[in-house]
Structure formats: structure tokens, C-alpha cells
Amino acid sequence: MRLCGIDGCRAGWVIASSDPRLSALEFRIIPALRDAVREAAAGRAVLAVDIPIDLAAPGPRAADLEARRLLGVPR
């Protein structure tokens, strides 16, 4: 079983994955999210997909402001 964090990028999707003990971190880029979803559906991976919600809203999102406050500058 792989643990996968997924985020969109210009080339498709970047995936950071590891075994459950977090002892072997790997990165890869895939063109389509369906490949990662197939792995999860087959029981080979757990996916966490970063998908911003309501980007059309004006101004910064509260979650982004809080993350910047916690992380500081530069991050």
C-alpha cells in the first residue's frame, strides 16, 4: 500500500508517495489523474488530492492566509 499526496502541475499531476512507515519517499509526474485513481481502486494506494475550492472568489482564501501566518516568510 502506498500513501500518495497529489497536486496539479503544468505537466499534469505531481505525486509524492511513500510506504506507510514513510521510509521511502518518491516523486513522479503523471499526465492523468485516472492512473493514480486506478491504483487506489485496486487497493494499492491511498490518495490525498490537493484541490483548491472556490478559486473564483475575490481576495485571498482564509486557509492560505493562515498557512502563510504559520509558515512565515520565506516558506
- Angstrom CA distances, 9 to 1, 13, 17, 69, 70, stand at 24, 5, 16, 24, 24
Q: What confidence score (pLDDT) does residue 65 get? A: 83
Query: In the prediction, which pLDDT does 25 show?
Result: 92
- Of the two residues 72 and 4, the one the predictor is more confident about is 4
pLDDT digits (tens, 9 = 90+) for 21-58: 989 899 999 998 888 888 888 888 899 988 766 666 67
Look at the chain and report how many structural domains it folds into: 1
Please give the residue range of the domain that contains residue 39.
2-71
Please tell me which residue, 47 or 63, carries the higher pLDDT value.
47
